Amino acid sequence: MIRISTIFIAICMVLVAASLGLVLYAVAGISGTESAIVALTALTFLILYNAVSMRLRDRSDVGGQIADLSRGTADLARQVAEYGRRLAAIEGRIASSNSTNSDRVQSVVGEINELGGLVRQLAATVSTHEDLLAGHAPAPAPAPATRPEPEAPIDLMAPFEERAAAPPPLPAPPRPTPPAVQTHTASAVSTVNGRNQTQMLVTLRNAIDENRIDIFLQPMVTLPQRKVRFYEAVTRVRDERDQLIAAEEFISIAEVSGLIGRIDNMVLLRCVQVLRRLMVRNKDVGVFCNVAASTLGNSTTFAQCLDFLEANRALAPSLVLEFKQSTFRGLGPAETENLAALAQRGFRFSIDHVTDLRIEPRELADRGVRFIKVPASLLLDPKQASTSDIHPSDLSDLLGRFGIDLIAERIEGERAVIDLLDYDVRFGQGFLFAPPRPLRPEGASATGGAASNPAQDIQGSNGSGTPSPGATSAAAPAAPSSRITGNAALARRI
C-alpha cells in the first residue's frame, strides 16, 4: 500500500515542475512546447532523485535488520551448542552407568562360578569323610616332605616398587632322575613327576571339573625404570594333594585329549577378573593371556571364547592374547579367519616362544600383533647377527616402525639388562624382576600353594618353554590351603 507521504511528495514534484514551466513561459517568453519539455525534464530529475534517496534509506534499514537477524542466529547457535554439550554429558553418564552395571554383573557371575566350584569341592570333601567314617578307615597321614618356602602372593593393589623382593629359591633335595624318553607316538608312556600320561590325564580332568586351574602373575617392567606395565598370566594346575603342575608338564596332554579349550576358557575368565581389579587403580596396566593353537582352530571352543571376549570388549585395549611363534607360522584358513575376528573386535596379540629372528613386522602388524617377546639370550647371542636378516640391536627400532613393542623375556642378570639397554629394549620380563606369584586370597584366582618350580615359572605361557640354565629344575610339593576368593570369602565368613 502506497504511503501518504509518498503521494504528497509526488504532488509536490508535479507542482514544482509545472511552476517551473509556467515561469519560463510567462517571464522568459519561451513557447508553450519548450516550457512543457523543460517542466517534464525537471519532473523526471525530481522523480529519479526521490527514488535514489528512498533506495539508500531502505538499504540502510535492511542492513540493520540483517545485522539484528545475524546476532539472533548467533545467539541461537550458542544455545543449541550448549544444549548439545549438556545432552552429550547426559549420554556419557548413562553410558558410564551402563558399563559400570555390566562390569558388576560380570563380577557377580564370576563370583557365583567360584562359589559353585567351592560348593563342589565341599561336597567332594564331605563325601570322602563320610566314606572314611562309614568304613572306619583312618585317613592316611601325609608323608613329611622337604619343600622350599612358597612365594608370597602378589598384591595387585600395591605398586611394584613397594613389593618385597622375592626370596631366592631353595635347592630341592637330590633324588634319582629316570632316563628321559622323548617320543610323540600315542602308544608311548612318559612319566612326569611320577605320573604317566593316563594318570596325568585323569588328574587334569579332575582339576578342570573341580575348578583347580589357577593363574600366577609375572610382571613385565619398563626399562630402565623397572615400573610394572603389564602382567602375564601363567597357568598352573593343582592335583588332589594341592601340588602345583606347571604348564610344560600338562599342555601337550591337554591338547591331545581336547581339554585345552576348557582350560583356555577358564584362564580367560580369570584374566578378565584380574584385569578389572588392576584397572581400578591403574587404567594403563594390561594382562597377557596365552591361547593355544588348537583353541584357535577349534570352531566350537573358539566360538565360546569369542562370545566371552565380545561381552568384555571394553577391556580389549588392556587384554593381550598371546600365541607361539610356531602358531603364527602355521596358521590355516580357519585360524586366520578367527584371528581376524578377534582383531576386528579390538584385541591385540603377542608372540612368544621365539626361536629365531626371521620376523616380518609388516605382516605381523597387519594381523594385529603389537608385542613380540624374545628371550634375552637370543637377543644377546652373537651368532644371530650373521644368521638373521637384521642385527638384534636394530630389531627394536624396526618393530617400532610398525607399532610393535619388543619385550625381552627370561632376564636373569643385571649384566643382561645393561646389554639390552644398548639394544633400545624398553620392556623386560624375567626372574630378575619378579617370579610368577599367586594372587592374594581375595583375587580372581586363589592358589593352593606356591610355585613349585622357579625355572618353569620363568616361562610365561601355556606352551612349553625350555628352562634357563641359571634356574633350578627341582620340583617340590606345595602346602595345601583352602581357596577363598572375593565374595566367596565373605560367604564363608557369614
- Give residue-wise pLDDT tens across range 286-313: 999 999 988 988 889 999 999 999 999 9
144 DSSP assignment: P
Cα dihedral 323/329/330/333 (nearest 10): 90
- Average pLDDT of the segment spanning 160-176: 43
Q: Is residue 437's pLDDT more than 50?
A: yes
* Whole-model pTM over 0.85: no
Q: Is residue 333's pLDDT more than 50?
A: yes
Check residue 53 and give left, alpha or beta (phi > 0: left; psi -120 to 50: alpha).
alpha
Q: Is residue 421's pLDDT more than 80?
A: yes
**pLDDT value at position 65?**
85
- Average pLDDT of the segment spanning 141-151: 45
- Average pLDDT of the segment spanning 414-438: 92
Kindly report the average pLDDT of the chain as a whole number.
78
Cell of 109: 557371575
**pLDDT value at position 158?**
54
Q: How far apart are CA 320 and CA 369, in angstroms?
A: 9
- The full DSSP string for 457-468 is HHS-SSS--PPP
Cell of 60: 540502510
Contact 462, 292 (CB under 8 A): yes
CB atoms within 10 A of CB 329: 9
Site of grid cell 632376564? 411
**pLDDT value at position 323?**
94
**Pairing mode of beta strands 437-438, 319-324:** unpaired
Site of grid cell 644377546? 380
Instruction: Label residue 30 by pLDDT band (50, 70, 90).
Output: confident
Q: How far apart are CA 367 and CA 22, in angstroms?
A: 101
Contact 280, 312 (CB under 8 A): no
**pLDDT value at position 154?**
65
Q: Which of 287, 242, 240, 233 is nearest to 263 (CA)?
A: 233
Q: How far is CA 20 from the centre of its chain?
A: 96
Contact 296, 338 (CB under 8 A): yes
- Average pLDDT of the segment spanning 174-178: 40
Higher pLDDT, 380 or 120: 380
Q: Which of 9-18, 40-49, 254-263, 448-457 has the lowest average pLDDT? A: 448-457
- Give residue-wise pLDDT tens across range 345-388: 999 999 999 998 888 999 999 999 999 999 999 999 888 777 77
Contact 108, 264 (CB under 8 A): no
